[in-house]
Structure 1
Amino acid sequence: MLFIDLLFVLAATSFIPHALADFHIATTETFDNSGLIATYRMQACPSNYYNCECFGNGDREGSFGDVNYWGDFTMDAGFCGMGKMDFYPDGDALINFYISGGDGTAIGYCTPNTGDSLNCWTGPADGTVTG
């Protein structure tokens, strides 16, 4: 079965005045027949492209390196024209993000978000994105 959940909206960045760097991050988990997680994957899609072309087909998708199940994680360079970005949970339901190798200044943060569902799955199992 395929499940996409745990969406986050990334809010204003400090290096682009008066602009928002909005995008969603979702986890995709597939489970084996015994109910254990078989694969775990993260995806990022621009908020103005919140659709199955991105979440379902990978169009304009941001990719991630190794992910430690919502511990620290890194987004590869190239998403929305950005360099490599590092993400660090702060323990208060926020995940701050930084330019990898930068000066250590947070350029934005993630907050939990819920909203409209997006069903990109056409197979026998549910694959709903809630954002």
Structure 2
Amino acid sequence: MTTRSGSARYEGFGKDGKGHVSTQSGVLSDTPYAFNTRFGDEPGTNPEELIAAAHASCFTMALSFALARAGFSDGTLETSAKVTLDKDGDGFSITKSELDLKATIAGIDADQFAAIAADAKANCPVSKVLNAEISLTHSLNS
């Protein structure tokens, strides 16, 4: 079992609040996020781009390992992901993640590649988490 962590802190509420997000690895360290980094053009990050990066990287790695298991050893995979956030009643929902893959693989035919890629899409851990059980524990200091 492998466990990784991230954290977020938000001070103030709503559009006036400001936050910072960090990752266990330190790749993100107090990186700003807020309403204007999510819906505007202020520098910083947002949950949707983090999910897009996670999905693109997870799928690409899963495909790489699947291709290696199928006997392929030479090539390049480049994936981008677009995550869509839509208004949903009073809130928002992530409604889709679109993976766009560009691949160069020596000696593979189109049908075999399509089957391996479809399996990697369905079975990469981030694809699975987008439909996963979510748990929450909490404490309140007031």
- Is the shorter-chain TM-score for this pair beyond 0.5, marking a shared fold? no
Structure 1 or 2: more strand by fraction: 1
Structure 1 or 2: more helix by fraction: 2
Give the structure-1-normalised TM-score: 0.30
Higher CA-based Rg? 2
Give the structure-2-normalised TM-score: 0.29
